[in-house]
């Protein structure tokens, strides 16, 4: 019986999201939300652990009231409980403050947990920081970027791909794991599961007061990270015609693109040139 907490996040469904052509930013107000793919993988990992070992799964998210959607979806997929942390004062939190908020909420609502599972990263901000910071906040060991998990007794054995090496790690519980999307394919939600998740399940909702949070440590004003701007990277294309004798063309090619050509053939052309 493994007591698990799965931290999930609602992210914008980028495939359905219009870009503002003028500013190069996502039009977030038009966004449909979805469960972050890596969080879905973390939930799948939890469901498989429960199928093998028995256990109880609590899905928890921090976000606007609309984030209730992904908690209901998590329950439809098999989670036993859904906890929503929502409060306007929590809005704009960076990863550090998010980890603080989640940690206090988990201590309050899921005391005695064995294993916390997070997605390794979210598709909207890609920092991959909340999982490791949450382990620090809760003062439990944590392992990131895990593909496979097996729990036996009070020990969890994990596999992850690291610099093309397959690492096998062991950790004693309680602990925290961040899960990649390379493991078991997440299951689809059943329609009867959705119907029940909406008609019968109760979502437990907490605000800052209910969690007993220090108002000075939550939300945007407490966050050390400030986002100055968000823009889409533009990949430009340019045609360049090199002219001259074949020898001159090759020289120009090396002058302009030595780093790219060298990278492709695994040589430092500049260093080679100096030596010669």
Partner 1 sequence: MDFNPCMKHKVVRKAVRMFAEAELGPIAHDIDRDARFPWEVVEKMQPLQFFGLQAPKEYGGAELDSISYAITIEEISRVSAAVGLCLTVHNSVGIYPIERFGTEEQKRRFLPAMTRGERIGAFCLTEANAGSDAGGVETIAVRAGGDYVINGTKIFVTNGGVCGTSLIFAVTDPQNPQRSAGVFIVERDTPGFTVGEIEDLCGMRANPVSSLFLEECRVPETNLLGRPGDGLRIGLVTLDTGRLGIAAQALGLAQAAFEDAVRYSKERQQFKKPISSFQTIQNYLADMATEINAARLLLYRACAVKDSGKPFGAEAAMAKLSCSATAMRVTNLAVQIHGGYGYSKEYDVERYFRDAKVTEIYEGTSEVQRMVIARAVLAQRT
Residues that bind partner 1 (CB under 8 A): 13, 32, 34, 66, 68-69, 72-73, 188-192, 194-195, 198
Which ranges in the chain belong to alpha helices (H)? Answer: 37-53, 68-77, 95-109, 130-138, 191-199, 208-211, 246-265, 269-275
Minimum Å distance from CB 121 to partner 1?
20
From the DSSP assignment, how many helices (H) and strands (E) are in the chain? Answer: 8, 14
Minimum Å distance from CB 187 to partner 1?
9
- Closer to partner 1 by CB, 42 or 222: give it: 42
Closest CA to 19 of 230, 226, 237, 236: 230
Report residue 128: phi and psi, to 5°.
60, 25
- Closer to partner 1 by CB, 172 or 195: give it: 195
Minimum Å distance from CB 200 to partner 1?
11
Q: Any idea what DSSP says for residue 216?
A: G
- Closer to partner 1 by CB, 59 or 173: give it: 59
Minimum Å distance from CB 188 to partner 1?
5
How many Å from the N-terminal Cα to the C-terminal Cα in the chain? 68
- Closer to partner 1 by CB, 18 or 266: give it: 18
């Amino acid at each position: 019986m493994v007591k698990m907490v799965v931290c999930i996040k609602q992210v914008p469904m980028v495939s359905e999201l219009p870009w503002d052509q003028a500013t190069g930013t996502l039009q977030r107000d038009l966004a449909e939300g979805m469960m972050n793919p890596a969080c879905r993988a973390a939930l799948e990992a939890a469901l498989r652990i429960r199928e093998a070992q028995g256990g109880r799964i609590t899905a928890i998210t921090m976000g606007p009231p609309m984030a209730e959607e992904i908690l209901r979806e998590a329950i439809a997929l098999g989670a036993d409980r859904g906890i929503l942390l929502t409060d306007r004062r929590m809005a704009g939190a960076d990863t550090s403050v998010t980890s603080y908020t989640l940690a206090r909420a988990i201590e309050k609502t899921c005391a005695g947990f064995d294993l916390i599972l997070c997605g390794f990263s979210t598709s909207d901000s890609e920092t991959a920081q909340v999982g490791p910071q949450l382990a620090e906040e809760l003062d439990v060991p944590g392992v990131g970027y895990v593909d496979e998990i097996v729990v036996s007794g009070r020990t969890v054995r994990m596999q992850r791909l690291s610099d093309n090496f397959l690492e096998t790690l062991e950790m004693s519980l309680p602990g925290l794991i961040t899960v990649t999307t390379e493991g078991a394919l997440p299951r689809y939600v059943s329609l009867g599961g959705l119907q029940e998740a909406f008609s019968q399940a109760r979502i437990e909702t907490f605000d800052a007061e209910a969690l007993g949070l220090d108002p000075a440590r939550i939300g945007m004003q407490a966050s050390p990270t400030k986002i100055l701007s968000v823009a889409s990277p533009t990949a430009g294309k340019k045609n360049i015609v090199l002219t001259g004798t074949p020898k001159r063309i090759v020289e120009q090619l090396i002058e302009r693109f030595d780093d790219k050509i060298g990278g492709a053939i695994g040589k430092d052309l500049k260093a080679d040139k100096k030596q010669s």
